[in-house]
Amino acid sequence: PTVSPRWVASSTEEPADCESYCKPVKGNLKINMKKYCKKDYAVQVNVLDMETVSEWAKFTVNIVSVYRSRDEKIKRADQFLWINMKDLACKCPKIQITKKYLVMGNTDSVSERLGGLVADKNSLVIQWRDVWTRRLRKFQRKEKKGKCGKA
């Protein structure tokens, strides 16, 4: 069900609603080969700015590194990251301007229509840690050897 922007703006939603809405992925911050392979893209981004467009939050992000890009050729440059206001209101994903994040998600017709990446409650959006660089590069090497089909 789609959520009207008015509902989100005037919502005094109980945290319990967000808890059940976000529950499947909230708090699961481990990055492994299986998760990497299930996502269409994995990028490191620096969040620059945000504006609201209808029921969407449109973040301008600088893509610092591209670790996986299945369908679209995601380039290192400024792009848009779209997050539905319902997801943002519940902080799934939680995202702040000026911080760096690892964003792992899937592309679909919505991301094509909006032009850019779309993150939702099923995406992995976690504050960047430098120790992940080596692990993600290792996943890239394994993917090139055909390991994602087996993960």
Q: Please report the pLDDT score of residue 8 as a whole number.
A: 36
| pLDDT band (50, 70, 90) for residue 141 | very high
Distance CA 19, CA 72 (A): 32
Average pLDDT, the chain: 81
CB 118 within 8 A of CB 110: yes
- Model pLDDT for residues 52-68, shown as the tens digit of each residue: 998 999 999 999 999 99
pTM comes to: 0.81
Task: Please report how many Cα atoms fall inside a 13 Å half-sphere around the Cα of residue 139, on the Cβ side.
Answer: 23
| Strands lying side by side in the sheet with 100-105 | 117-119, 78-84, 56-69, 41-53, 100-105, 124-127
Count of residues in the chain: 151
Average pLDDT over residues 113-128: 87
Distance CA 150, CA 31 (A): 17
- Model pLDDT for residues 20-30, shown as the tens digit of each residue: 777 655 445 67
As a whole-number percent, the residues of the chain with pLDDT over 70 amount to 82
